[in-house]
Amino acid sequence: MSFSYLNACLAMLLAWGAIGLAGMIRPKSLEFAGRTLFPLGALCGIALAVLAVISIATPVERDVLPIGLPGLPFHVRRDALASVFLALLGGASAGISIFSTGYFRKGEGALPGLLCLEYHVFLASMGLVLLADDAYAFMVAWETMALSSYFLVTTQHRIPEIRSAGFLYLLIAHVGAIAILLSFGVMQGGSWQFTFDAMRAAHLSPGWATVAFGLALFGFGAKAGLVPLHVWLPEAHPAAPSPVSALMSGVMLKTAVYGVLRVSFDLIGTPQWSWGLVALGLGLMSAFYGVIFAAVQTDMKRLLAWSSIENIGIIFTGVGLTIVFHGVGMGALAALALIATLYHCLNHAFMKSVLFLGTGAVLHATGERNLGRLGGLIHRMPWVAWLTLVGVLAIAGLPPLNGFVSEWLLLQAFLFAGDVPQTFVNMLLPVGAAVVALCTALAGYVMVKFFGVIFLGQPREATLGQAHDAGPVERLGLLWLALGCVGLGLFPVQVIEMLDIVARELLRLPPGHWGTDWWLLAPAAARHASYGPLALFGVTVIVVVLAALGVRAVYRRRVHRGPAWDCGFVRLDARMQDTAEGFGQPIRHIFEPFFEMQRELPTPFDAAPRYRVTVGDRLWTLLYLPLGVTVRWVADLVARLQQGRIATYLLYSFVTLITLLALVL
Amino acid sequence: MTTLGAVTQLLEIVCAMLAAPAFLGWVNQCRAWLQNRSAPSVLQPYYGLRKLFHKDVILAENASPLFRVAPYVVFGTMVAAAAIIPSMGTGLPLSMAADGIALVGLLATARVFLSLAAMDVGTAFGTLGARREMMVGFLAEPALLMVLFVAAMISRTTSLPLIAEGLTTRAIALYPSLAFTAVAFTMVLLAENARIPVDNPATHLELTMIHEAMLLEYSGRHLAMMEWAASLKLFNYACIGFALFIPWGTGTEAGGPEGLLLAVPVLVAKLAAAGAGLALVETLSAKLRVFRAPEFLATAFLLAVLGLLVHLLLGD
């Protein structure tokens, strides 16, 4: 068999599977499963990322694997789009695997060997999702991904909340999977061939194409956590061990984005611009909804889960924008929006992984997930704190880190949309830009809260004094991901030139012009706008260093330490700092209609005053509870047919038979 | 990079650093006149900085390295921001590397570092100030972006020098959209620079302060850098306003060295007028309750979005 990148990538996925199985040799040995196999998995991840990056510019490769059912072999195909997401999978999972090497401890839920199996099967199935070229292989991989991640989420299955979180995840994942399956069913267009090639060749009427897109958007949106299908995210992410949360949030959600892109631009091929508006609207809503809820959370992992919803919202905004531009035939802008989307996928994989792993390290060091009991950890855990700070600044969309680049590209795409033929779309798009700008600014708020409450200030509990920094391997994992954030931030032209290949292939466009220099990003679609993070960063660093040196050179006074100024009060203690609730208060106040709040306020005469506020998701009571009631009602109705008497069931069969016969004859 | 460009660039950085405290002093002086107080000298902020540079630093016991780095980072980002705003000339080599969106990003970076530093010591005031600053920021930042977008859509570029050049070279016309955004921008400027009605730079009353609350733990050279950065921020905002709304008189590549020489007095005149106007607005308005600040800023945001819609409707 000759070498092809496709085969090499498949070999890496196979290696992941083998590593997983190897974990079962000595399932109880943390030393073997945790400390030996995970680094091997990380190496496979790096190899996969390198292969994927090299292969982006190479022609499409395809193959048929002799596995699967008789007559239904697995078709696989690797193109630029798959390569980009494989690179994301490999690059982010490498850092997470390195971190996991030092992370998993004895006595935490499932056996280490089992964990190793589930983890690597999860990785391999995500890879297969990206490479699958027929609906059958895709759905098998998709379901394997859902199931393996379900088992990972419920690692600590003895805790009832975790079991119910896992169940909710599984439920929504499967509702989504059904929609995806139906979407494939529509897209085969009467040929009854379920290979993707057949779907590409099928000609759907606009109505059926819309149905297929709607189903795909619903199905993939459920996996991605698009509002209103987001409810599983804030439950499942806190339940899972931190590396698993990182993997799910950083990588798994992106497979859903991949799915939407694959279906709309490749399988359907000619998306209509009005679909884009739907995706755009849902994306903006998710971004806004996610970020305001993130701001009021008190559990650090739940906060990050809501922030993932926000980022997925931004990504779907980009997808929507791409579809709109592509639909009205504005190629260059469509490419710009698509590249912003893909860039944000890459960014989010790295920065959200840093943050989730940072919370994992904090969780291990302190045993606390509640923001109200953390604080001051920058002194005890400097490595974790400073590396997390990189992720925090990146996700807050601050230059020169990576989050800013994708934000910049997306805003440019919005800004130069002015020539869309549909006037009302023209009017709507700038409002979209306003929402994106608002969400990014709010993300800054959320991240200041996240970092400030965990790492800065005084420790809110006495036990935090014993917190220890993460081990060297965990630091290495975090460092890898943080460097990813910096690299993606400082070298946008190189990254975009790779992403441009996807845009060319997917949107069938000529190559775009993205930079005038290797350091200067200047998309031709955005007239005269340029961004050179390296120069900007360089100048800022030079000024900072010069200012610090200059001040030190002329400054003749001493620096000494004293107690913090207590403003004349006698006792200043850690409880006087803002709590997480306190920091979220302005958001609760300003966006009150969006939250479902229950407040318990003490009266001035209370002997034991208690203040309690809980913030709930309005969609849960408005949408999910009625839905649950309806489902139960329908189930009860069906139950009337099921009376448990065999005579009745025979009667049903008889009636059915007669009816069918009557129909046929 | 032309020689003129390099000269303009250096001149702008140095002038911004040196002139920013004077601008703040001028605003304070005007304010004092309008309020019938005996006015401090324009040079008062310099005296303040000199005094601070001659004082010891007292660091809180649990201040982390972040607390010590933050003043320089905030100062550095403000200087970098000054370098990309076309206050004197539009031929800035550095403005290639950062357009208007990046400028907003830079200002946000400074804000985040300032807030994080305020939370570092873990006093009640620090965190309170940080929370309020971020509250003001998350509404002011998108409003500023929207203001910028209107100008960018008119000139079809997000590069600030090109926006300024575009406005000067076109025939003078009335842009209704710019009227909306000018009001929005003024509101953002007031809020972001801790001026009345959102914050009061002259008070240390705990219920109302935002910016000062964040600086409570700073002393000596660190405080000096923070104060200097704050005056630079005011200077920068004023210059952004000039570039977006009244760029006439700014030196261009075509204008040559004479244009640059002429730009200096023009800038001084603009700053003097803007400072007086700012003092007037501050004197005429009352300090808002902190809870009302979001409404104030939401108004700014909506005005800016309205400006955008007006631009699209009228197509100017």
Q: Do B220 and A529 touch (CB under 8 A)?
A: no
Residue A130 belongs to some domain of the structure: no
**Domain span at A493:** 294-299+307-551
Strand partners, A73: A68
- Report the distance separating Cα B316 and Cα B314, nearest Å: 5
Chain B: closest CA distance from residue A297 (Å): 15
**Residue range A539-568, pLDDT digits in tens:** 999 999 999 999 988 888 888 898 888 777
Look at residues A494, A521, A551 and tell me which one is the last residue of a structural domain. A551
Residues of A in Cβ contact (< 8 Å) with B156: 416, 527-528
Residue A563 belongs to some domain of the structure: no
Residue A86 belongs to some domain of the structure: no
Q: Does residue A525 have a pLDDT over 70? A: no
3-state secondary structure A510-574: CCCCCECCCCCECCCCCCCCCECHHHHHHHHHHHHHHHHHHHHHHCCCCEEEECCCCCCCCCCCH
Q: Do B105 and A555 touch (CB under 8 A)?
A: no
**Residues in Cβ contact with A505 at an 8 Å cutoff, skipping those fewer than 6 apart:** A60, A79, A80, A81
Whether A512 and A641 share a structural domain:
no
Higher pLDDT, A647 or A420: A647
Class of residue B173 by CB neighbours under 10 A (exposed 0-12, middle 13-18, buried 19+): exposed
Residue A634 belongs to some domain of the structure: yes
Q: Do B159 and A416 touch (CB under 8 A)?
A: no
- Report the distance separating Cα A380 and Cα A46, nearest Å: 31
Interface contact B218, partner A, CB < 8 A: no
Residue A328 belongs to some domain of the structure: yes
Q: Does residue A107 have a pLDDT over 70? A: no
The type of residue at A534 is L
Which pTM value belongs to this model?
0.95
**Residue range A331-346, pLDDT digits in tens:** 888 999 999 999 999 9
Q: Does residue A663 have a pLDDT over 80? A: yes
Residues of A in Cβ contact (< 8 Å) with B57: 557-560
What does the pLDDT read at residue A564? 86
Residues of B in Cβ contact (< 8 Å) with A415: 149, 152-153, 158
**Residue range A203-221, pLDDT digits in tens:** 889 999 999 999 999 999 9
What does the pLDDT read at residue A31? 83
Q: State the maximum Cα–Cα separation within chain A, in Å, rounded to a whole number.
A: 105
Q: At what angle do helices A206-224 and A253-261 cross, to 10 degrees?
A: 170
Whether A377 and A484 share a structural domain:
yes
**Residue range A369-418, pLDDT digits in tens:** 898 889 899 999 999 999 999 999 999 999 999 999 999 999 999 887 76
What does the pLDDT read at residue B202? 76
Residue A260 belongs to some domain of the structure: no
Q: State the maximum Cα–Cα separation within chain B, in Å, rounded to a whole number.
A: 60
Q: Does residue A310 have a pLDDT over 80? A: yes
Question: Nearest Cα to A391, choosing from A359, A438, A437?
Answer: A359
> What's the mean pLDDT when you consider all of chain A?
91
**Domain span at B154:** 3-314
Q: Do A559 and B56 touch (CB under 8 A)?
A: yes
Q: Does residue A164 have a pLDDT over 80? A: yes
**Residues in Cβ contact with A161 at an 8 Å cutoff, skipping those fewer than 6 apart:** A239
CB A554 within 8 A of CB B221: no
Q: Do B72 and A532 touch (CB under 8 A)?
A: no
The arithmetic mean of pLDDT across residues B152-166, rounded, is 88
What does the pLDDT read at residue A527? 59
Residues of B in Cβ contact (< 8 Å) with A444: 108, 111-112, 134, 137-138, 141
What does the pLDDT read at residue A441? 95
First-to-last alpha carbon distance for chain A, in angstroms, is 56
Could you tell me the pLDDT band of residue A108, with boundaries at 50, 70 and 90? low
Report percent pLDDT > 90 for chain A.
66
Q: Does residue A313 have a pLDDT over 60? A: yes
**Residue range B36-86, pLDDT digits in tens:** 999 999 999 999 999 999 999 999 988 999 999 999 999 999 999 999 999
Whether A522 and A656 share a structural domain:
no
Whether A387 and A532 share a structural domain:
yes
Span of A362-371, A448-457, B272-281 with lowest mean pLDDT = A362-371
Residue A96 belongs to some domain of the structure: no
What does the pLDDT read at residue A541? 95
Whether A546 and A644 share a structural domain:
no
What does the pLDDT read at residue A136? 93
Residue A123 belongs to some domain of the structure: no
- In this structure, what token pair is assigned to residue A537? 């960063």
What does the pLDDT read at residue B34? 94
Could you tell me the pLDDT band of residue B316, with boundaries at 50, 70 and 90? low
Q: Does residue A467 have a pLDDT over 90? A: no
Q: Do B225 and A444 touch (CB under 8 A)?
A: no
Q: What are phi and psi of A102, to 5 degrees?
A: -95, -5
Q: Does residue A307 have a pLDDT over 70? A: yes
Look at residues A551, A573, A606 and tell me which one is the last residue of a structural domain. A551
Residues of A in Cβ contact (< 8 Å) with B115: 448, 452
Instruction: Quote the number of domains for chain B.
Output: 1
What does the pLDDT read at residue B48? 95
3-state secondary structure A275-302: HHHHHHHHHHHHHHHHHHHHHCCCEHHH
What does the pLDDT read at residue A423? 78
Instruction: Quote the number of domains for chain A.
Output: 2
Strands A612-617 and A72-78: unpaired
